Amino acid sequence: MNRSVITGTGCMIPPEIKSNRDFTIHNFYAEDQSRIAAPPQEIVEKFRMITGIAERRYAPADMNSSDLAITAAKAAIQDSKVDPESLDQIIVAQNFGNVIKHTIQSDGVPSLASRIKHGLGIRNPNCIPYDIIFGCPGWVQGLIQADAFFKAGVAKKCLVIGTETLSRVLDMYDRDSMIFSDGAGACVLEYKEVPENGSGILGASVQSHAGEEANYIYMGKSNFPDSDPRIRYIKMKGRKVYEYAIKHVPQAMKDCLDKSGVDIRDLTKIFIHQANEKMDEGIIRNLYKLYGINEVPEDIMPMSIHWLGNSSVATIPTLYDLVRKGRETNHQLQSGDIVLFASVGAGMNINAVCYRV
């Protein structure tokens, strides 16, 4: 049988470290533009206790989202040992295009995927590059799309990338801005003949709720009262996002496992979007409860949010690359392990992919 197999991975972790201490010199304002009375140190510590984030990475001024992606893509291609000229598609999950440092305008023409193909030096005209905007679940959606193209018989090798520089669309006066970070992760996905119990994508599930949920994550003006109202920043209704994720993501994950014919007890790892430690823990608990299990395995969920923050589409491929290559010392993967990728983000969109290593 044929399955979509990840044959190589790579990531780009930007060099600039932004610690929580760096935010203690800020004054924070609420959505109604009133100053928050609590001392910044207290706000920052409460943030750490809720999200688990102690530091995050920002891209230097001379690096854009497409630059981060090219570095991650080169690592994935080298790891897979494929000829880049043999790639049929380059699928790039992103949300803001290239945002040049110290500007307020997103640059999405040409697409990041086209820039990445150019940066990789790929000359093959039959290698089709394109972007997808699906919120934080974009990279997982890229896997799902590549798998569909494989099954349709129009592609055999795809490069799937998630890249973002969220640090350039942040409102420094908003507490939620401390969540976001920059980064890129990539994989080469190939359609290969494998045995019945061989590697590859076993199943997937996708959901979208775009009623009032469509505005849970949005672009809005700064919380600072004297800010330029024409400039927009990424904004989030944190409580709404949390409640939505806790309710709907476990259901989508269960749907994916059930479609894949996988018993949850056979899962080795769950690679969930690194959004908020408490939220991710709640999602996993609720998933196991759907199967009548109250005790979650201690080592089921690798986490990178403590030092990398939330880099949107880059969180899952970056974390998977780190674990796959032994750079996360508390987690390992072996051939035959079954893992679950799952994410939630702006839209609001949810997806999950079950994969055998």
Residue pLDDT, tens place only, 98-116: 998 777 778 889 999 999 9
Residues 207 and 299 in one domain: yes
**Cα–Cα distance between 138 and 161 in angstroms, integer?**
9
Residues 140 and 220 in one domain: no
Residues 166 and 275 in one domain: no
35-56 tens-digit pLDDT: 999 999 999 999 999 999 999 9
Helices vs strands, H then E, count in the chain: 8, 15
Q: Is the separation of the CB atoms in 351 and 144 below 8 Å?
A: yes
pTM of the predicted structure, to 2 decimals: 0.95
**DSSP β-ladder status, 217-220 and 182-193:** unpaired
**Cα–Cα distance between 321 and 305 in angstroms, integer?**
14
Residues 31 and 107 in one domain: yes
pLDDT bin (cut points 50, 70, 90) of residue 204 is very high
User: What does pLDDT average to over the chain?
Assistant: 95
Which domain CATH number covers 174? 3.40.47.10
Residues 296 and 343 in one domain: yes
Residues 177 and 204 in one domain: no
Nearest residue to 18 via CA among 180, 222, 232: 180
Residues 226 and 204 in one domain: yes
283-330 tens-digit pLDDT: 999 999 999 999 999 899 999 999 999 999 999 999 999 999 999 888
129: β partners: 90
Q: Which residue has the tokens 């440092």?
A: 101
Q: Which residue has the tokens 């910044």?
A: 40
Residues 184 and 217 in one domain: no
pLDDT bin (cut points 50, 70, 90) of residue 26 is confident
**Cα–Cα distance between 229 and 137 in angstroms, integer?**
29
Residues 106 and 216 in one domain: no
Residues 205 and 58 in one domain: no
233-287 tens-digit pLDDT: 999 998 999 999 999 999 999 999 999 999 999 999 999 999 999 999 999 999 9
**Cα–Cα distance between 288 and 206 in angstroms, integer?**
19
Residues 50 and 134 in one domain: yes
Residue where a domain terminates, one of 178, 193, 208:
193
Q: Report pLDDT for 95.
A: 95
**How many domains are there within the chain?**
2
165-179 tens-digit pLDDT: 999 999 999 999 999
Q: Is the separation of the CB atoms in 33 and 224 below 8 Å?
A: yes
Domain that residue 250 falls in: 200-356
**Cα–Cα distance between 297 and 288 in angstroms, integer?**
10
